[in-house]
Amino acid sequence: IPRMTLSPSDSNLPFILKRRQFSIRVAFSLTINKAQGQTLSRVGLYLPQPVFSHGQLYVALSRITSYQNIKVHIDNSSVKSQKGQTQNVVYKEVFA
């Protein structure tokens, strides 16, 4: 994180005043279920494991206004056969 030390140039104080500023951007997080029905301008999607409910992946990827503004991180360290993939699991017996 870049740090900027600022001090006033026209200070008449008997001590040196310094302020350290961190250039950060405010961000918020929410679950896929909470994002349902919302439209978001930028999205970062972190999937440490495959989604656990049918349609969650669709909901997560369809909240964005432009697909250029979405970043997806899929953690496949526990599954060695998949590289950059996740599963959208459908339990068909639920619909029977």
User: Is the pLDDT higher at 38 or at 76?
Assistant: 38
In 3-96, alpha helices (H): 32-35, 56-61
Hey, what's the torsion of the CAs at 58, 61, 67, 69, to 10 degrees? Answer: 170
Give the residue among 58, 45, 52 at the shortest CA–CA distance from 89. Answer: 52
CA distances from 41 to 25, 45, 62 (A): 15, 13, 11
Q: Where are the domains of the chain?
A: 28-94
Judge whether 35 and 59 are in contact, CB under 8 Å. yes
Segment 10-44, tens digit of pLDDT: 778 888 888 898 888 888 889 988 988 899 999 99
Write down the pTM of the prediction: 0.57
